[in-house]
């Protein structure tokens, strides 16, 4: 005998499929291949906050109230980030990738899924300290224009600066971290010199094509929110975007091991999830 709770869960899951299809059809944002657990959790949180009775009722608001959709879009975005997040990753870049980038007269970097930009500025600091920032063009992309606006400004709450300073030091920082920002009341403003070679732009990993041909792609803690099919699509996109011998940096819980492009990459640092596109 089918339990009532099973029926309810089946109905909710069906409603979720329908609202994701509606979002794609109306607005062009495709969350259909995101992790079901992630999407369900975010939708139910918004459902309760909105005091709505069902996902179907939410779907009606999404279709007929663009402002409500913008709120839901922010909920579905992945915006967990910090300066020098996972310091060991940046330390590995310093030791194993930067020496190769130094051999190029000019190189391009793509920060995909950059969120509010803290990790983009972290990498800019790293390049500056290694003396090659002026040779770099850094593209930082996200599908959410709200977080890109924050990233472009480079202004962040001051309460996390102690944590960020510790991350910077653990990442091999060679200066005083305070050299890179100015404190202003309850905020810090990152130095304008860090923005000189940064380009922030909208790009959707799910629906858009190759962004640029680059030497290094950093996309950390984004793939974990995608299902297997979408992970393969995005890794293929990265593969096509990298030059021969180009590098790819993923998040600590991500791997190429079970993707369809695994054999086309060499492992540079397994602990920090850094890979190199094999020469053709």
CA 3 to chain centre: 40
Mean predicted confidence (pLDDT) in 79-92 = 91
Q: Is the pTM of this model over 0.85?
A: yes
Name the phi and psi angles at 271, rounded to 5: -65, -40
Ordered strands of the 155-157 beta sheet:
155-157, 187-190, 181-184
Q: To the nearest whole percent, how much of the chain has pLDDT over 70?
A: 97
Instruction: For residue range 211-256, list pLDDT tens digits in order.
Output: 789 999 999 999 988 989 999 999 999 999 999 999 999 999 899 9
The pLDDT, as a whole number, for residue 3 is 56
Class for the domain spanning 87-277 = alpha beta
Whether the predicted pLDDT of 1 surpasses 50: no
Instruction: For residue range 135-182, list pLDDT tens digits in order.
Output: 999 999 999 888 999 999 999 999 999 999 999 999 999 999 999 999
Mean predicted confidence (pLDDT) in 255-276 = 94
Close Cβ partners of 19 (under 8 Å, ≥ 6 residues apart): 43, 55, 56, 58, 59, 62
Residue predicted with more confidence, 206 or 200: 200
Instruction: For residue range 6-26, list pLDDT tens digits in order.
Output: 566 778 889 999 999 999 899
User: CATH 3.40.50.150: which residues of the chain?
Assistant: 87-277
């Amino acid at each position: 005998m089918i339990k009532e709770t099973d029926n309810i869960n089946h109905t909710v899951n069906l409603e979720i499929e329908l609202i994701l299809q509606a979002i794609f059809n109306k607005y062009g944002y495709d969350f259909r291949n995101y992790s079901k657990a992630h999407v369900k959790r975010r939708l139910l949180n918004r459902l309760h906050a909105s005091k709505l009775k069902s996902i179907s009722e939410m779907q009606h608001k999404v279709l007929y109230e663009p402002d409500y959709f913008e709120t839901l879009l922010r909920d579905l975005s992945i915006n967990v980030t910090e300066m020098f997040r996972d310091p060991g990753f940046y330390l590995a870049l310093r030791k194993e990738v930067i020496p190769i980038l130094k051999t190029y007269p000019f190189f391009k970097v793509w920060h995909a899924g950059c969120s509010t930009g803290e990790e983009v500025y972290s990498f800019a600091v790293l390049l500056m300290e290694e003396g090659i920032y002026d040779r770099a063009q850094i593209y930082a992309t996200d599908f959410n224009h709200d977080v890109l606006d924050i990233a472009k400004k480079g202004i962040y709450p001051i309460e996390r600066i102690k944590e960020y300073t510790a991350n910077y030091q653990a990442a091999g920082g060679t200066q005083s971290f305070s050299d890179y920002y100015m404190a202003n009341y309850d905020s810090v403003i990152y130095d304008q010199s860090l923005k000189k070679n940064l380009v922030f732009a909208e790009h959707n990993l799910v629906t858009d094509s190759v962004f640029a041909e680059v030497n290094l792609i950093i996309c950390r803690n984004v793939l974990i929110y995608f299902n297997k099919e979408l992970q393969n699509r995005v890794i293929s996109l990265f593969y096509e975007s990298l030059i021969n011998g180009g590098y790819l940096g993923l998040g600590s819980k991500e791997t190429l091991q079970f993707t369809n492009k695994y054999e086309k990459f060499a492992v540079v640092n397994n602990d920090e999830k850094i890979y190199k596109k094999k020469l053709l």
